[in-house]
Amino acid sequence: MIKKLLIPVVVFLLFSVSSCSKYQKLLKSTDNEVKYETAMDLYEKKDYTRSLELFDLLQAAYRGTNKGEEISYRMAYCYYNLKDYTVASFYFKKHAQTYPTSARAEECMFMNAYCYYLDSPRPSLDQSNTYLAIKELQAFADQYPKSERVSESNKLIDDLRAKLEEKDYNIALLYFRMRDYQAAITSFQNLLKRFPDTDRGEEVFQNMVLANYEYAEKSIPEKQRERYEAAVESYNNLRFQYPESQYIKALEPIHEKARKKIVN
């Protein structure tokens, strides 16, 4: 019984060893046509690692030919499918620039930008790649304004901007919770300038009322009046922009205290 079970395993191992041996011989071969056909076959079978290895060897031999263009295109997708988005974006852009009249140039420029989008980290991390992704997506939309992909590019840009907004809001909130009110106020103000259509407007104004009031309370007498005035202004902005806000009534006592401090 055990022997019968072992036979298929042995056959599989022998086949694998034989296959690997043939592939290693192919890598050393000078027959580029066989390499090309094998690389294309491996690509279709989603064996992106081995197909990429062969494509890499064939780049120089087929540069400037139709096969060279095919190799360039598929190399980019090999890296993409292997989730190496940084290198994939480089190859997509390189393909579009090397073959600007190709029917695939537009697709590759979009994929270049999309790889940056996929490489954008969560909001708590450094957002350098997010800014690069926005830049590349906008560049694509500017270069191909009539493309069907522009709508998708704009949606991706909105997603990335939402991530930047979340990071800015979390930083401002952190300053507020640390009672660094001056930094919190500046951060909230910058957030409203950068993202005037933010969905967090109510929360931002609420926190600005509280931050300005607490900042005034801890200030030297010469600075208190202007900071109480800032608290009142933030409250009035909240009432004007969000007249139905749940925070208006809750902040009324703070507003009254600040107003009285100004009068007195």
Token look-up 């640390």 returns: 178
Euclidean distance between CA atoms 195 and 198, whole angstroms? 5
Q: Which residues contact 182 (CB under 8 A, 6 or more apart)?
A: 215
Q: Which residues contact 121 (CB under 8 A, 6 or more apart)?
A: 127, 129, 130
Q: At what angle do helices 2-28 and 48-58 cross, to 10 degrees?
A: 20
Token look-up 């929360």 returns: 203
What predicted TM-score, i.e. pTM, was given to this entire model?
0.83
Tokens of 67: 């096969």
Euclidean distance between CA atoms 9 and 232, whole angstroms? 79
Q: Which residues contact 207 (CB under 8 A, 6 or more apart)?
A: 172, 173, 176, 184, 188
The domains of the chain are located at 178-264
Contact 155, 112 (CB under 8 A): no
* Per-residue pLDDT at 4: 52
Cα 69 to Cα 40, 63, 85, 139, 153: the distances in Å are: 13, 8, 20, 23, 25
Euclidean distance between CA atoms 192 and 220, whole angstroms? 28
Euclidean distance between CA atoms 175 and 34, whole angstroms? 63
**Per-residue confidence of the chain (264 residues) as pLDDT tens digits?**
554 544 454 334 334 444 567 888 888 777 789 999 999 999 999 999 999 999 999 999 999 899 999 999 999 999 999 999 999 999 999 999 999 999 999 999 999 999 999 999 999 999 999 999 999 999 999 999 999 999 999 999 999 999 999 999 999 999 999 999 999 999 999 999 999 999 999 999 999 999 999 999 999 999 999 999 999 999 999 999 999 999 999 999 999 999 999 987
Q: How many Cα atoms occupy the beta-carbon half-sphere of 155 within 13 Å?
A: 5
Contact 202, 245 (CB under 8 A): yes
Q: Using alpha carbons only, what angle is made at residue 177 by residues 172 and 182, rounded to the nearest 5 degrees?
A: 55
Q: Using alpha carbons only, what angle is made at residue 29 by residues 28 and 30, rounded to the nearest 5 degrees?
A: 125
